[in-house]
């Protein structure tokens, strides 16, 4: 190429991208330090969203090339090189500041040493510490250590120290396999001879390839520590996710170019997936699986209401008739949804009606929910919050008890995570309104109290109406109706008692709470009891052993909320707002109900876990011992729950012996199976009929668990004519005088029905 101006010695090339202040400082520092070396300045605007400052544009020595698209760092340098006139090309990031004599030192060395093709200076940080700008080339297999979690865990390993020249005090010009591309001086003739930068590398690793190709021609690459520049690392790219995508893509291209396709694929598979973050996540999921599945067939809760769902699922499988509603709610003419019956039926079909199969099925949902909470914490806040939120969720005593239940409340955290995902997608991207409505419908098919999420959507609409439009609302409503389709089909033959009746019931609860009655009485008088119930559940969720710890955690959570703004301007603000409003609207709904049951609270597990994870991370950043405090809390929770047999009674453990604050949910499946086995064996081939006595006689489903177990134990056996009837009692004082106790395990008394 013929030079347009042969009197130019150095052509300095700046690739500009969103660094207006830095480019001004960089150009100024170059002009102050270049001395009497003839020069020109070329600035390539790589389709930056921030314009180049006028001070740079009006500089007569500066030529500006403006690109309509960003084709990458190397491509922009090649573009500038074609326009350059200098004997030498000085390739510089726009966030570099030259120190006195740095340019002269680099130029003099390259001018005096004909066997050297490329030189680079010593770079320092704001703290005047040497940056790792001289390294070995990133060839395999050493790259598998340098770019992996091993380097993060053990930064002083011998391979990394050798790669980054950490053990060498370099005070004189030294041959270098690779120099940082942030500041390089190269002979222009050599640049043209090797064809410039490889434009396949959009960003990163282009200098590694450049140095290797120069060395392959027999030229030296030299590190000149006597020339010093200052480097603002990463000023031009603030998007860490985008930076990482560029980095891993270029790394793969480098491996492929110098090692071949298959080694590159295998190396990238290792580096991308076997990361410290992924290992931590796998550890959390492993802990989740252990705690959710540990001795589940032994320490499995199995109440009468659970048996009612099992019998309904069994009948559905055997008869082929699909129920449209589930168990009756606390209001006898309203039913819970049938979704849990469908899920239990699937697990019973797979598990051949084994009573522990649904518990394992729902525990699997719990492990998946742990991952979903991690994903949502990462999306709403950052990856650390995602990990910490997942750890809290998987170790909370109340969560552990709930996810191991073969009951309709167990999958609520899973479906509420799905709801949050689609709510977040809608709020941030205006996507999936239909699926958002569908997720609320499915949550209603699990538990009617989940309807409070509709109130959350209304509040989000009032806060930012621009997100919602008529089309979105109609699609959301359509999705909701698809979600509650079993209720709608049920109402075709039952006079809209389920859908319209549920709406009237909500209106009636609000009316009673507000005291809009002829007598003037109000259920708001029960608010203190509802608040007490709420606090008890929160205590079981956070730390049941000590109420003061719970108060401290809640105080820290409220302090974090107070320290942060609530709004919709940033991702973090929106995330905090959604979680906060979710919890507040749910609690208001529970208090208006005046008698919230334990089945209401799984809806809060996801937002509470996210807020506590955010609190954990925030205070750990402020003061590191806070991390240890929360870590001890979650470890203590998991140990407490496991040691106390997941808060269930069995023969070797009773609630009165529980460590800490004892609250016990009932007997284990093992104990109930023993009673059922006795009845089947005692019947000697006759059919077993079970009814409840005493307190158990008040509830139709109180012994449905034993009915399912005896059916399962009898299944497939040949039964002789006749039926033997048993009456079950939980209190020995309720047993009629003269009735013979055939069996007891301290939790249930089996007598033969003499009537």
Average pLDDT over every residue of 94-102: 91
Considering 190, 221, 238, which residue would you say is the last residue of a domain? 238
* 572 or 260, which is more confident: 260
Residue 10 near residue 86 (C-beta atoms within 8 A) = yes
Domain assignment of residue 333, yes or no: yes
Cα separation, 17 vs 6, in Å, equals: 30
Q: pLDDT tens-digit profile of 725-738?
A: 999 998 899 999 88
* Range in 216-225, 362-371, 391-400, 653-662 the model is least confident about: 653-662
Residue 14 φ then ψ, to 5°: -110, 130
State the pLDDT at residue 659: 43
Considering 238, 262, 289, which residue would you say is the last residue of a domain? 238
For the cut 50, the answer to whether the pLDDT of residue 88 exceeds it is yes
Average pLDDT over every residue of 9-29: 91
State the pLDDT at residue 622: 87
State the pLDDT at residue 239: 65
* 497 or 271, which is more confident: 271
Cα separation, 518 vs 639, in Å, equals: 53
Q: In the chain, pLDDT over 90 holds for what percent of residues? A: 63
Average pLDDT over every residue of 27-33: 91
Give the burial class of 175: count Cβ atoms within 10 A of its Cβ; 0-12 exposed, 13-18 middle, 19 or more buried: exposed
State the pLDDT at residue 115: 93
For the cut 80, the answer to whether the pLDDT of residue 655 exceeds it is no
Give the burial class of 530: count Cβ atoms within 10 A of its Cβ; 0-12 exposed, 13-18 middle, 19 or more buried: buried
If one counts the domains in the chain, the total is 3
* 370 or 72, which is more confident: 370
Q: Are both 368 and 486 inside the same structural domain? A: yes
Domain assignment of residue 269, yes or no: no
* Range in 297-306, 365-374, 427-436, 640-649 the model is least confident about: 640-649
Q: pLDDT tens-digit profile of 193-214?
A: 999 999 999 999 999 999 999 9
Q: Are both 113 and 181 inside the same structural domain? A: yes
Q: Are both 675 and 631 inside the same structural domain? A: no
State the pLDDT at residue 220: 94
Locate the DSSP E strands across 404-538: none
User: What is the number of alpha carbons within 13 Å of residue 189 lying toward its C-beta?
Assistant: 9
Considering 590, 612, 647, which residue would you say is the last residue of a domain? 647
Average pLDDT over every residue of 458-487: 91
Q: Are both 623 and 511 inside the same structural domain? A: yes
Q: What angle (nearest 5°) sits at the alpha carbon of residue 589, between those of residues 588 and 595?
A: 105
Residue 735 near residue 749 (C-beta atoms within 8 A) = yes
Per DSSP bridges, beta strands 116-124 and 749-752 are unpaired
Q: Are both 615 and 686 inside the same structural domain? A: no
Q: Are both 154 and 296 inside the same structural domain? A: no
Q: Are both 473 and 545 inside the same structural domain? A: yes
State the pLDDT at residue 466: 79
Q: Closest by alpha carbon to 47, among 305, 236, 267?
A: 236
Q: Closest by alpha carbon to 358, among 419, 311, 391, 288?
A: 311
Domain assignment of residue 271, yes or no: no
Q: Are both 283 and 345 inside the same structural domain? A: yes
Domain assignment of residue 250, yes or no: no
- Which residue(s) pair with 145 in the sheet? none
Cα separation, 526 vs 528, in Å, equals: 6
For the cut 60, the answer to whether the pLDDT of residue 236 exceeds it is no
State the pLDDT at residue 653: 46
Average pLDDT over every residue of 447-465: 90
Cα separation, 749 vs 727, in Å, equals: 8
Tokens 């600035």 -> residue: 43
Average pLDDT over every residue of 567-573: 75
Cα separation, 356 vs 708, in Å, equals: 12
Q: Closest by alpha carbon to 311, among 298, 326, 295?
A: 326
Average pLDDT over the chain reads: 89
Domain assignment of residue 270, yes or no: no
Cα separation, 176 vs 135, in Å, equals: 7
**Tokens at 507, concatenated:** 């209106």
Q: Are both 427 and 500 inside the same structural domain? A: yes
- Which residue(s) pair with 135 in the sheet? 178
State the pLDDT at residue 521: 66
State the pLDDT at residue 503: 84
Q: Are both 584 and 522 inside the same structural domain? A: yes
Domain assignment of residue 631, yes or no: yes
Give the CATH number of the domain where residue 47 resides.
3.90.550.10
Q: Are both 126 and 75 inside the same structural domain? A: yes
Domain assignment of residue 122, yes or no: yes
Cα separation, 206 vs 197, in Å, equals: 7
Cα end-to-end span (Å), the chain: 112
Average pLDDT over every residue of 510-516: 75
**Tokens at 210, concatenated:** 């450049």
The Cβ of residue 504 has, within 10 Å, a number of other Cβ atoms equal to: 12
State the pLDDT at residue 519: 65
pLDDT band at 6 (very low <50, low <70, confident <90, very high): confident
3-class secondary structure, 571: helix
The string of DSSP codes covering 129-156 is PBP--EE----TTHHHHHTSHHHHH-TT
Domain that holds residue 110: 10-238
Domain assignment of residue 245, yes or no: no
Cα separation, 706 vs 679, in Å, equals: 10
For the cut 60, the answer to whether the pLDDT of residue 7 exceeds it is yes
For the cut 80, the answer to whether the pLDDT of residue 396 exceeds it is yes
Average pLDDT over every residue of 311-318: 96
- Which residue(s) pair with 24 in the sheet? none
For the cut 80, the answer to whether the pLDDT of residue 395 exceeds it is yes
Q: Are both 223 and 306 inside the same structural domain? A: no
* 94 or 504, which is more confident: 94
Burial of 588-627, coded b for 16+ CB within 10 Å and e otherwise, reads: ebbbbbbebeebbbbbbbbbbbbbbbbbbbbbbeeeeebe
């Amino acid at each position: 190429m013929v030079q347009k101006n042969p009197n130019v010695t150095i052509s300095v090339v700046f690739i500009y991208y969103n660094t207006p202040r830095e480019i001004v400082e960089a150009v100024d520092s170059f002009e102050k330090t270049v001395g009497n070396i003839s020069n020109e300045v070329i600035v390539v605007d790589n389709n930056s969203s921030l314009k180049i400052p006028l001070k740079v544009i009006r500089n007569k020595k500066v030529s500006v090339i403006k690109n309509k698209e960003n084709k990458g760092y190397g491509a922009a340098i090649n573009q500038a090189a074609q326009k350059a006139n200098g004997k030498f090309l000085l390739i510089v990031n726009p966030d570099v500041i030259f120190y006195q004599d740095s340019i002269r030192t680099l130029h003099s060395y390259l001018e005096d040493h004909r066997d050297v093709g490329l030189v680079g200076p010593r770079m320092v940080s704001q703290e005047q510490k040497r940056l790792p700008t001289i390294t070995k080339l990133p060839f395999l297999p050493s790259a598998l250590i340098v770019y992996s979690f091993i380097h993060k865990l053990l930064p002083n390993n011998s391979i990394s120290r050798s790669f980054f020249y950490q053990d060498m005090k370099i005070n004189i010009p030294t041959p270098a396999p690779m120099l940082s591309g942030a500041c390089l001086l190269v002979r222009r003739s050599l640049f043209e001879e090797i064809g410039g930068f490889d434009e396949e590398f959009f960003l990163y690793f282009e200098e590694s390839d450049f140095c290797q190709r120069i060395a392959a021609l027999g030229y030296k690459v030299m590190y000149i520590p006597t020339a010093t520049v200052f480097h603002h690392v990463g000023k031009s790219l603030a998007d860490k996710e985008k930076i990482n995508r560029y980095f891993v893509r270029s790394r793969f291209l480098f491996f492929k170019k110098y090692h071949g396709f298959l080694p590159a694929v295998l190396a990238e598979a290792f580096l991308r997936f076997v990361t410290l973050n992924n290992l931590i996540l796998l550890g959390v999921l492993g802990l989740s699986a252990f705690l959710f599945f540990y001795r589940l067939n032994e320490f499995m809760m199995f109440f009468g209401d659970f048996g009612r769902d099992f019998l309904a699922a069994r009948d559905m499988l055997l008869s082929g008739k699909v129920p449209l509603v589930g168990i009756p709610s606390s209001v006898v003419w309203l039913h819970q949804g049938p979704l849990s019956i469908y899920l239990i039926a699937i697990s019973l079909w797979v598990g051949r009606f084994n009573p522990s199969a649904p518990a394992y099925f729902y525990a699997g949902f719990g492990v998946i929910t742990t991952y979903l909470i991690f994903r949502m914490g990462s999306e709403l806040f950052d990856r650390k919050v995602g990990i910490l939120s997942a750890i809290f969720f998987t170790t909370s005593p109340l969560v552990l008890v709930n996810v191991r239940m073969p009951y309709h409340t167990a999958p609520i955290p899973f479906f509420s995570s799905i709801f949050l995902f689609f709510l977040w997608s809608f709020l941030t991207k205006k996507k999936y309104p239909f699926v958002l409505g569908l997720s609320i419908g499915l949550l209603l098919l699990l538990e009617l109290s989940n309807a409070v999420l509709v109130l959350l959507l209304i509040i989000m609409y009032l806060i930012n109406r621009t997100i919602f439009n008529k089309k979105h609302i109609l699609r959301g409503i359509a999705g909701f109706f698809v979600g509650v389709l079993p209720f709608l089909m049920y109402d075709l033959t039952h006079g809209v008692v389920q859908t319209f009746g549920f709406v009237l019931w909500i209106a009636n609860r609000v009316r009673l709470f507000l005291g809009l009655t002829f007598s003037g009485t109000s259920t708001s008088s029960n608010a203190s009891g509802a608040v007490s119930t709420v606090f008890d559940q929160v205590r079981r969720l956070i730390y049941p052993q000590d109420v003061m710890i719970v108060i401290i955690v809640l105080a820290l959570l409220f302090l974090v909320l107070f320290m942060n703004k609530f709004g919709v301007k940033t991702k973090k603000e929106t995330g905090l707002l959604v979680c906060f409003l979710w919890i507040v609207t749910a609690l208001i709904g529970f208090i208006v109900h005046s008698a919230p049951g334990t089945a209401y609270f799984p809806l809060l597990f996801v937002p509470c876990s996210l807020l506590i994870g955010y609190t954990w991370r925030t205070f750990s950043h402020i003061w590191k011992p806070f991390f240890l405090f929360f870590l001890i809390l979650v470890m203590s929770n998991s140990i407490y729950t496991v040691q106390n047999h997941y808060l269930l009674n069995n023969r070797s453990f009773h609630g009165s012996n529980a460590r800490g604050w004892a609250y016990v949910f009932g007997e284990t499946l093992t104990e109930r199976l023993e009673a059922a086995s006795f009845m089947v064996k005692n019947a000697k081939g006759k059919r077993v009929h079970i009814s409840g006595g005493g307190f158990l006689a008040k509830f139709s489903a109180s012994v449905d668990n034993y009915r399912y177990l005896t059916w399962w134990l009898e299944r497939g056996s040949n039964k002789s004519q006749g039926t033997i009837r048993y009456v079950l009692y939980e209190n020995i004082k309720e047993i009629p005088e003269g009735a013979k106790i055939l069996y007891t395990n301290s939790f249930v008394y089996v007598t033969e029905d003499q009537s």
